[in-house]
Amino acid sequence: MYGLVNKAIKELVVDNHGQEKWLEICSEAGFEESDFISLSPYPDKLTYDLVGAASKVLKADSKDILEAFGEYWILYTADQGYGDLLDLSGSSFVEFLGNLDMLHLRINNMMPELKAPLFSTQNETDSSVELLYKSHRKGMVPMLRGLIKGLGKRFDMVVNIQEVESKATESKGLCFKITW
Ligand code: HEM
Per-residue pLDDT at 103: 98
Provide the residue type at 22 as one letter.
W
Q: Which atom of ligand 1 lies closest to the CA of 136?
A: 41
How many angstroms separate the alpha carbon of residue 158 from the centre of ligand 1?
A: 21
Q: Note whether 49 and 135 are same-domain residues.
A: no
Q: Note whether 104 and 148 are same-domain residues.
A: yes
Last residue of a domain, one of 60, 80, 104: 60
Closest CA to 147 of 62, 90, 71: 71
Q: Note whether 39 and 79 are same-domain residues.
A: no
User: For residues 113 and 159, what is the distance between their CA atoms, to the nearest angstrom?
Assistant: 32
| Number of domains observed in the structure of the chain | 2
Q: Note whether 83 and 167 are same-domain residues.
A: yes
User: For residues 6 and 96, what is the distance between their CA atoms, to the nearest angstrom?
Assistant: 24
User: For residues 163 and 180, what is the distance between their CA atoms, to the nearest angstrom?
Assistant: 15
| Mean pLDDT value across residues 36-57 | 98
- The string of pLDDT tens digits covering residues 115-166 is 999 999 999 999 999 999 999 999 999 999 999 999 999 999 999 999 998 7
Q: Note whether 145 and 75 are same-domain residues.
A: yes
Q: Note whether 91 and 135 are same-domain residues.
A: yes
Q: Note whether 107 and 174 are same-domain residues.
A: yes
| DSSP designation for 32 | -
How many angstroms separate the alpha carbon of residue 103 from the centre of ligand 1?
A: 9
Q: Note whether 85 and 127 are same-domain residues.
A: yes
Q: Note whether 41 and 90 are same-domain residues.
A: no
Torsion, CA 44, CA 74, CA 117, CA 89, rounded to 10: -150
Instruction: Reply yes or no on whether the pLDDT at 169 is more than 70.
Output: no
Per-residue pLDDT at 136: 92
Pick the residue whose CA is nearest to atom 10 on ligand 1.
2
Please answer whether residues 121 and 98 qualify as being in contact, where contact means their C-beta atoms are separated by less than 8 angstroms. yes
Q: Exposure pattern of 151-162 as b/e (b: 16+ CB <10 Å)?
A: bbeeeeeebebe
| 86: number of Cβ within 10 Å | 15
Q: Note whether 108 and 31 are same-domain residues.
A: no
Order of strands across the sheet that contains 118-122: 118-122, 128-134, 174-179, 160-164
How many angstroms separate the alpha carbon of residue 148 from the centre of ligand 1?
A: 11
Q: Note whether 90 and 36 are same-domain residues.
A: no
pTM: 0.95
Q: Note whether 79 and 12 are same-domain residues.
A: no
Per-residue pLDDT at 172: 72
Q: Which atom of ligand 1 lies closest to the CA of 111?
A: 10
How many angstroms separate the alpha carbon of residue 50 from the centre of ligand 1?
A: 17
Pick the residue whose CA is nearest to atom 5 on ligand 1.
77
Provide the residue type at 167 as one letter.
K
Please answer whether residues 69 and 54 qualify as being in contact, where contact means their C-beta atoms are separated by less than 8 angstroms. no
- The string of pLDDT tens digits covering residues 67-103 is 999 999 999 999 999 999 999 999 999 999 999 999 9
Domain that holds residue 27: 3-60
